[in-house]
A and B are shown apart, each in its own frame.
Chain A
């Protein structure tokens, strides 16, 4: 009977008030009126960003070399030698001198993350604002979270850009990234073979590869995929991914070692790491896996500590990490590099190789690339000599993760907040490091 009365009362309200009033009258249910939600204060779980072992290893390797100012960053390097030979005592020679040194030049690149903040809602720690986000009802300090997320955003952009390049579009380079740091894609290249992102970098640090300085700045990429060459750029072959194994790792190690490199850091995506671990395990190789059943921190290979880096280039990571430019619903719930892109790999096109002016089916550089082929990049593995790298963060506080707060002049409560970093990351000796790609798990 009570239920019937209640039903009639609700129906009456529905007819009179359009079906809306009784839903919120009374406004709160007994449960919501009497209880707060169970929530742990000052705890916010991060379900977007990822930490990267590569950055941690670089820091520990002491690659930070503060940029104190000046007209770019100069790195002198040797590419030539004086003349000399074994000869008969008493011989006369014509003594000549040729240029033996030149320099690389890089420029500081600006990274900024921004957000509007309003002191009606937020308090910046001064206690002057934050009408809403303050007091005992505040679950967490959203201003602090915003600052932290700006730092994480810059770090993510930087580390993704570390695997990309910082050159303008031009011959051999399809994408313009002049505002980005001069990352591994351009440093570990030889001006002849394509990089993991499909570019062929004829210069590095402004110096022309394979010209007067010869191969001084070359690092030859190693192709591990199938070798199916096409007959021309309009009749491309298709080369899928291949297998990584001890032989491939030894070749990659050799390419850096033969130039005097002391490679100590291996970086690959988690899925590249898995491919290596599975391949080596299948071959019953001792890979010196640390804490094998507890945490796969790294694998040692000839003194190279290989780490699984979630932001390193990969074909598979994008299935599990939300990577730009596939925007989420809000347009910002993805991980992006400094150009709105990411490190997801795809396919690249190899050029028509020649040797002595004659077309050949395979690259003459020892890279293993087929001519005229659509190559599936898959996973990528870097062997790096970390002491060779330079992270050039500015020493100026305002641009070393410094904050600039700009008032919006005609707004009663909103300021613009910018977190800024001036930096670059490069290596003056690309030949001491190497990259291999074209394999899959």
Chain B
């Protein structure tokens, strides 16, 4: 699915926990209603103002970056799919797709593979938007400590991030504000851009 700068999101990007990829489900049959222009893998870039305007502020304010419509794999750990945790693609699915993601704990060997930041709590099996590039808000580990701006942040147990002295395959990005234990803070995502 191409970069799509014309898209219907229905709700704020960080308030979607949909049972269908189009965001509209028939209340009687439970089937997906295909209202054009919202499909799995739609990704798009937003300015800071656009991202702010598409935020449900109860779940935080979104920032400039790239967002993608994905399904959270039904095998993901629900407790680890919430505001600021990091997930990754599910490499056990054939054919491989960037558009089904899972929580970081499912297989730590996948942690550096298309890492994405969850924007809100999502029921495994449901659809949502995730952030994959730009200025993202991540959740610090319980022992991340108070670090300064510019730290390398890597994903660790449960999808939270912690600081690292070196770039690793699990690197999510560089911090742009001080981290605190179990608190949300911003990073500039430093991961490969993907298409499809």
CB neighbours of B11 from chain A (8 A): 329-331
Evaluate whether A330 and B36 lie within 8 angstroms (CB atoms) in the complex, with A24-B28, A116-B7 already known: no
Q: Is the interface of B mostly helix, strand, loop or mixed?
A: loop
B109 within 8 A of A: no
Contact with A along B25-37 (1 / 0, CB 8 A): 0001110001111
CB neighbours of B56 from chain A (8 A): 327-331
* A20 CB to nearest chain B CB (Å): 9
> Contact at A416–B6, with CB atoms within 8 Å?
yes
* A186 CB to nearest chain B CB (Å): 22
- Segment touching B, from A304-312, A344-352, A376-384, A404-412: A404-412
**Whole-angstrom CA separation of A261 from B6 in the bound complex:** 49
- Segment touching A, from B46-54, B142-150, B167-175: B46-54
* A224 CB to nearest chain B CB (Å): 33
Q: Closest residue to B2 on the A side, CB-wise?
A: A410
A414 within 8 A of B: yes
* B13 CB to nearest chain A CB (Å): 7
Interface size on B, residues (CB 8 A): 25
* A390 CB to nearest chain B CB (Å): 29
> Contact at B10–A331, with CB atoms within 8 Å?
no
A86 within 8 A of B: no
> Contact at B28–A116, with CB atoms within 8 Å?
no
* A212 CB to nearest chain B CB (Å): 38
How big is the A interface, by class? 20 to 34
CB neighbours of B191 from chain A (8 A): none
> Contact at B29–A411, with CB atoms within 8 Å?
no
Residue in B28, B29, B53 whose beta carbon sits within 8 Å of that of A332 in the complex: B53
**Whole-angstrom CA separation of A340 from B53 in the bound complex:** 7
* B88 CB to nearest chain A CB (Å): 27
Residue in B2, B36, B49 whose beta carbon sits within 8 Å of that of A412 in the complex: B36
Evaluate whether A116 and B53 lie within 8 angstroms (CB atoms) in the complex, with A330-B15, A411-B36 already known: no
> Contact at A121–B35, with CB atoms within 8 Å?
yes
> Contact at A327–B57, with CB atoms within 8 Å?
yes
* B137 CB to nearest chain A CB (Å): 15
**Whole-angstrom CA separation of A416 from B36 in the bound complex:** 13
Q: Closest residue to A330 on the B side, CB-wise?
A: B11
> Contact at A327–B53, with CB atoms within 8 Å?
yes
> Contact at A118–B52, with CB atoms within 8 Å?
no
Contact with B along A18-43 (1 / 0, CB 8 A): 00000010011000100000000000
**Whole-angstrom CA separation of A330 from B2 in the bound complex:** 24
CB neighbours of B2 from chain A (8 A): 410
CB neighbours of A327 from chain B (8 A): 12, 53, 55-57
Residue in A120, A325, A329, A414 whose beta carbon sits within 8 Å of that of B15 in the complex: A329
* B47 CB to nearest chain A CB (Å): 11
CB neighbours of A413 from chain B (8 A): 36-37
Residue in B13, B29, B52, B57 whose beta carbon sits within 8 Å of that of A27 in the complex: B29
B74 within 8 A of A: no
A391 within 8 A of B: no
* B6 CB to nearest chain A CB (Å): 5
B8 within 8 A of A: yes
CB neighbours of B30 from chain A (8 A): 24
Q: Closest residue to A120 on the B side, CB-wise?
A: B36
* A300 CB to nearest chain B CB (Å): 41
A316 within 8 A of B: no
> Contact at B36–A28, with CB atoms within 8 Å?
no
Residue in B7, B8, B28, B37 whose beta carbon sits within 8 Å of that of A28 in the complex: B28
Sampled A-B contacts (7; CB under 8 Å): A32-B28, A118-B36, A328-B56, A330-B10, A330-B12, A331-B56, A411-B37
A residues apposed to B, CB below 8 Å: 24, 27-28, 32, 116, 118, 120-121, 132, 325-332, 340, 408, 410-414, 416
Q: A116-B8, A120-B36 are known contacts; what are 8 more A-B pairs with Cβ within 8 Å?
A: A24-B30, A118-B35, A118-B37, A327-B56, A331-B13, A331-B15, A331-B56, A416-B6
